[in-house]
Amino acid sequence: MTNVECEFMSDILRAVKSGQWTDSLRNHAASCPRCQETRATTMMMKELVANNPAHRLRDYRVIWLKAQYARKEERLTKFDLLALVGLSLSGIAGLFGLFLLMLPQLSGRFLDIMVPAVPRLSTVLSSGVPVLVVTGVAVMIWILTRDSIFIEK
Amino acid sequence: MDEEVFRAFYERTNRALWLYIAGMVKDNELADDLFQESYIKVLQSRIEYKNEPQMKSYLYRTATNCMRDHWRKMKREREWFEAEGGEAAEVRNPIELRHDLQAAFSGLSLQQRSLLWLAYAEEYEHKEIADILMLKEKSVKVLLFRAKHKLIELAGKLGITREVTP
């Protein structure tokens, strides 16, 4: 058995659907087993479609609103992730800065050994840490409120 | 896709898509859920609406994937339940098979049903079917041929005969 359809397959399909047969197509269908199968299958499928009960479909607005909500939720999940990363980074930076501030001698010695060319980095850091923390918090607030500020149409 | 474009697209495609899904799953409630999920996924994907056939193909592909995912989940749940020592639950099929033809159709695999539905009920070209079912065009020809034979064979076993001469 070869898995090849007859060249008249699409014509048979159309004829079964429309009920319009030309004489030559009718003669061909009567003698071609492939086309007989196509015709039988088309009739069966037609019957299956016709047998489906009338069913009330959902209003498009319900689906539209659900999609908007799902999209918003998806975006919020991304924002949550960003906020978490932002929070973690600013937290780590803050802790590191705090550690350096609380142990100035240690930090001084550490900096003198590691980076002798940088003068009084602890002073720079001491003024920089609050700025860093405030910036981190501001970025987080922006990320979390962005969705409610820019409401999508 | 804005709301107005979606409304028009939905109105043109909803009936046929629901019939396609219901024809595959034979469960109206499940068909409703998968139907809704398909449209939501299409909207979520932010695919650009270029033309109707492209969008329709994408919609059917999404619906087919939703059905596939549902089947896989059902299969996993059954296997897990069996592994836990329970008896496998019957596949839920709340709609009575209204006649033998539906029983014959239900005897086909999801892929075979999809192929036949898209080719014979929706009259999609082989290329479009290949796109929807993510198959090669050549494979569609062969698989469709086999699906057709299987349906005729199953119908024959159930004593369903259709007039074959026009």
CB contact under 8 A, A51 and B146: no
CB contact under 8 A, B43 and A67: yes
- What per-residue confidence (pLDDT) applies to B41? 92
Mean pLDDT of A124-143: 70
How far, in Å, CA of B5 to CA of B49, rounded?
Answer: 9
Structure tokens at A142: 């922006």
Q: Which of residues 84-103 of B touch A (CB under 8 A)?
A: 98-99, 101-102
What is the tens place of the pLDDT at every residue in B44-58? 887 788 888 889 999
Alpha-helical regions (H) of B46-116: 52-83, 100-106, 110-116
- What per-residue confidence (pLDDT) applies to B157? 82
Predicted ipTM? Answer: 0.72
Contacts with A55 from chain B: Cβ below 8 Å: 18, 22, 28
Averaged pLDDT score across all residues of chain B? 82
Specify the amino acid at residue A112: D
Position B99 confidence tier, pLDDT thresholds 50, 70, 90: low
Position B73 confidence tier, pLDDT thresholds 50, 70, 90: confident
- What per-residue confidence (pLDDT) applies to A51? 74
Helix-helix angle A121-149:A104-114, to 10 degrees: 100
CB contact under 8 A, A13 and B102: no
Q: How far is CA B144 from CA A15, A41, A67, B86, B163, in A?
A: 19, 11, 34, 37, 21
Mean pLDDT of A18-41: 85
Share of residues in chain B with pLDDT > 90 (%): 29
**pLDDT, greater one: A92 or A106:** A92
Mean pLDDT of A126-141: 71
- The nearest alpha carbon in chain A to B26 belongs to A52
CB contact under 8 A, A57 and B166: no
How many residues in chain B? Answer: 166
Q: Which of residues 7-26 of B touch A (CB under 8 A)?
A: 7, 10-11, 14-15, 18-19, 22-23
- What per-residue confidence (pLDDT) applies to A99? 72
Position B96 confidence tier, pLDDT thresholds 50, 70, 90: very low
- The nearest alpha carbon in chain B to A62 belongs to B36
CB contact under 8 A, A67 and B44: yes
- Whether the predicted pLDDT of A34 surpasses 70: yes
- What per-residue confidence (pLDDT) applies to A115? 63
How far, in Å, CA of A49 to CA of A59, rounded?
Answer: 22
**pLDDT, greater one: A77 or B15:** B15
How far, in Å, CA of B33 to CA of A149, rounded?
Answer: 32
Mean pLDDT of B78-89: 59
- Whether the predicted pLDDT of A153 surpasses 70: no
Contacts with A52 from chain B: Cβ below 8 Å: 19, 22-23
Our CA-based measurement puts residue B72 at a distance from the nearest CA of chain A, in whole angstroms, of 23
